């Protein structure tokens, strides 16, 4: 609609300029004819005096019409400029609101996705195979836990691996030992995910880390969720160790930002997710990933603004159910004017 308003403004301006130009051309010709008529009347002497008066009046009328056409051009030009300005503001406002909704949609989708991950880690920490490998730590228990974790991974393809660590931070089982054979026996006691898991107050609590490259998983970016594994799988049971699950961030996040529906005429737009430090953790343009984006937050939860020739829209993570979010933003950086 806003583009139609601008198109009409430009068309009115073009037609007005064209028609006023025609009027002025006719009046110039009329003025020349009036001058010629006065010359001929002067040459005719007293016999042409009456015609001279008519020629003079024609010249006056022509000048008056030229003055009117000039005033008309100025008046219409001023109003067309106002119309164009209003149309441009309308376009920016409508695109800004639409992009803000799209940014919120993207961050809401990832929130719902990550909420499910928080449910997964709390559920799997009560699995008897996970509990028993820490309660008994026998070869049979380790083998059973490994097979059980592998079964989970076959159904939940969004994870790179699942690790079970004892109270000292030693990994005793993982779901993909054939892919990550170095994991068993490794010390994770110094990692944030393990320390925070062992600090959880009950089986209803969990911890999630910001997106980071996991060296033990060959540098893949992951969202790591963790919670304590408790004796008997009880909510208030003794903490026996920790379960860490590694969400395969890259393909999931890329699918979300690349799947945000735009109108097709936005080839220069980039859909991003920003963490609380404004680091680009996902982007429809791969070149933007792992860079910093200077987001100007005029309104805490959502908004848009113009920066140079770019339109920036953003929305803060609203969280989902018991997942409060990590202060991330969905963000769209687009050309101020859509490409034709």
User: Quick one: tokens of 337?
Assistant: 């004017």
Question: Is residue 48 predicted with pLDDT exceeding 60?
Answer: no
Domain with CATH 3.30.450.20 in the chain: 125-251
Q: CA torsion sign, 17 to 19 to 21 to 24? A: negative
Mean pLDDT of 81-107: 83
For tokens 């660590």, the residue is 165
Domain with CATH 1.10.287.950 in the chain: 2-91
Strands 329-335 and 280-283: unpaired
Q: Give the contacts of 306 (CB within 8 A, at least 6 positions apart).
A: 92, 312, 336
Question: Is residue 17 predicted with pLDDT exceeding 80?
Answer: no
Q: What are the b/e assignments for 6-30, b being 16+ CB within 10 Å?
A: beebeeebeebeeebeeebeebeeb
Q: Which stretches of the chain are DSSP H helices?
A: 2-44, 49-124, 128-135, 139-155, 192-199, 249-259
Question: Is residue 225 predicted with pLDDT exceeding 80?
Answer: yes
Helix/strand/coil for 235: coil
For tokens 């009117």, the residue is 68
Question: Is residue 263 predicted with pLDDT exceeding 60?
Answer: no
Question: Is residue 207 predicted with pLDDT exceeding 70?
Answer: yes
Phi, psi of 302 (to 5 degrees): -165, 160
Q: Give the contacts of 66 (CB within 8 A, at least 6 positions apart).
A: 24, 27, 28, 31
Question: Is residue 9 predicted with pLDDT exceeding 90?
Answer: no
Domain topology for 2-91: Helix Hairpins (1.10.287)
Q: Which of 62-76, 96-110, 239-253 has the lowest mean pLDDT?
A: 62-76
Helix/strand/coil for 305: strand
pTM, full prediction: 0.75
Residue 92 has a pLDDT of 84
Which has more pLDDT, 288 or 53? 288
Distance CA 207, CA 214 (A): 16
Highest mean pLDDT among 59-63, 277-281, 297-301: 277-281
User: Quick one: tokens of 20?
Assistant: 């006023």
Mean pLDDT in the chain?
A: 85
Helix or strand holding residue 302 (H, E): strand 302-307
Which has more pLDDT, 143 or 58? 143
Share of the chain above pLDDT 90, in %: 61
Radius of gyration of the chain (CA): 36
Distance CA 252, CA 280 (A): 15
Domain topology for 125-251: Beta-Lactamase (3.30.450)
Mean pLDDT of 15-38: 66
Mean pLDDT of 210-236: 95
Mean pLDDT of 52-74: 67
Distance CA 174, CA 169 (A): 13
Question: Is residue 6 predicted with pLDDT exceeding 60?
Answer: no
Pair 161, 180: CB distance under 8 Å: yes
Residue 21 has a pLDDT of 67
Residues pairing with 323 in the sheet: 320
Residue 34 has a pLDDT of 61
Residues pairing with 242 in the sheet: 165, 228
By C-alpha distance, which of 200, 196, 203 is closest to 237? 203
Residue 33 has a pLDDT of 63
> Half-sphere exposure of residue 163, counting CA atoms within 13 Å on the CB side?
31
Q: How confident is the model at residue 260 (pLDDT cuts 50, 70, 90)?
A: confident
């Amino acid at each position: 609609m806003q583009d139609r308003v601008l198109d009409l403004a430009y068309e009115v301006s073009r037609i007005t300029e064209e028609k006023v130009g025609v009027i002025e051309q006719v009046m110039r010709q009329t003025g020349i004819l009036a001058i010629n008529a006065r010359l001929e009347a002067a040459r005719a002497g007293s016999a042409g005096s009456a015609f001279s008066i008519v020629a003079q009046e024609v010249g006056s009328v022509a000048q008056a019409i030229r003055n009117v056409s000039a005033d008309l051009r100025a008046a219409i030009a001023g109003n067309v400029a106002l119309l164009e300005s209003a149309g441009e503001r309308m376009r920016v406002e409508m695109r800004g609101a639409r992009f803000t909704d799209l940014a919120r949609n993207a961050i809401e989708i990832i929130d719902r996705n990550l909420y499910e991950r928080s449910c997964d880690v709390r559920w799997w920490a009560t699995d008897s195979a996970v509990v028993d490998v820490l309660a008994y730590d026998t070869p049979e228990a380790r083998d059973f836990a490994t097979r059980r974790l592998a079964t989970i991974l076959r159904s939940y393809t969004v994870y790179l691996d699942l690790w079970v660590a004892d109270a000292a931070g030693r990994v005793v089982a993982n779901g993909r030992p054939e892919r990550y054979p170095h994991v068993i026996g490794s010390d994770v006691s110094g990692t944030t995910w393990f320390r925070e898991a062992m600090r959880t107050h009950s089986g209803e609590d969990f911890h999630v880390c910001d997106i980071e490259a996991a060296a033990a998983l060959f540098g893949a970016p992951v969202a790591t969720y963790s919670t304590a594994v408790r004796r008997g799988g009880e909510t208030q049971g003794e903490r026996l160790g920790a379960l860490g699950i590694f969400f395969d961030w890259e393909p999931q996040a890329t699918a979300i930002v690349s799947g945000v529906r735009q109108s097709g005429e936005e080839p220069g737009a980039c859909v991003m997710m920003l963490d609380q430090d404004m680091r680009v953790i996902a982007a429809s343009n791969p070149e933007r990933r792992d860079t910093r984006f200077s987001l100007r937050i005029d309104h805490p939860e959502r908004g848009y603004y113009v920066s140079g020739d770019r339109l920036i829209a953003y929305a803060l993570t609203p969280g989902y159910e018991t997942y409060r979010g990590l202060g991330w933003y969905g963000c769209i950086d687009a050309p101020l004017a859509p490409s034709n």
